[in-house]
């Protein structure tokens, strides 16, 4: 989670919402890093998870991220949860809950939806307060 938090802080440099992600390989090595880059690139799909998943897939030479773990500072949204399922990521670790748009148990539960062809093991609340404060501070300064 420390790596994901460092990426989240880097998102602040471009005025993006401070969310960071990292994809770890089966051996625990870093395969992909991501931070929100929507403002930086004018891309609505440039969420931290999407950026990290793309980088990991490119590094592996495969879209299947079997055996990998995605660590992210905020509960994934529906778009990112869909990408996690499609990439066959077996484990997701996240920090803060997203009570407005979360798709890993708060608003929706896409990652554990039994009607889909892949299910994800979810580990919520890791360094939750630290992840939440980063977002609260960011949005407090924008209001």
Structure tokens at 46: 């440039």
Q: Reply yes or no on whether 99 is catalytic.
A: no
Model's pTM, two decimal places? 0.96
pLDDT tens, residue order, the chain (143 aa): 999 999 999 999 999 999 999 999 999 999 999 999 999 999 999 999 999 999 999 999 999 999 999 999 999 999 999 999 999 999 999 999 999 999 999 999 999 999 999 999 999 999 999 999 999 999 997 65
From 7, 13, 39, 49, active-site residue? 49
Q: Which domain holds residue 40?
A: 1-136
Q: Is 24 inside a domain boundary?
A: yes
Q: Is 93 inside a domain boundary?
A: yes
Structure tokens at 44: 């609505």
Q: Is 143 inside a domain boundary?
A: no
Q: Which residues contact 82 (CB under 8 A, 6 or more apart)?
A: 110
The domain total for the chain is: 1
CATH number, domain containing residue 56: 3.40.140.10
Sheet of strand 20-24, all strands in order from the earlier edge strand to the far edge: 30-35, 20-24, 69-74, 91-96, 121-123
Question: What are the binding residues for Zn(2+)?
Answer: 47, 77, 80
Three-state SS string over 28-70 comes to CCEEEEEECCHHHHCCCCCCHHHHHHHHHHHHHCCCCCCCCEE
């Amino acid at each position: 989670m420390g790596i994901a938090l460092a990426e989240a802080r880097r998102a602040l440099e471009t005025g993006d919402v401070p969310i960071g992600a990292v994809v770890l390989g089966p051996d625990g090595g870093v395969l992909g890093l991501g931070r929100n880059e929507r403002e930086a690139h004018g891309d609505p799909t440039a969420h931290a998870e999407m950026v990290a998943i793309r980088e990991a897939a490119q590094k592996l030479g495969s879209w299947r991220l079997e055996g990998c773990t995605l660590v992210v500072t905020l509960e994934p949204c529906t778009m990112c949860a869909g990408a996690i399922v499609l990439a066959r990521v077996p484990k997701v670790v996240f920090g803060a809950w997203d009570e407005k748009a979360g798709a890993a148990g708060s608003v929706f539960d896409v990652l554990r939806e039994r009607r889909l062809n892949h299910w994800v093991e979810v580990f919520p609340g890791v360094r939750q307060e630290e992840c939440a404060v980063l977002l609260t501070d960011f949005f407090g300064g924008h209001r």
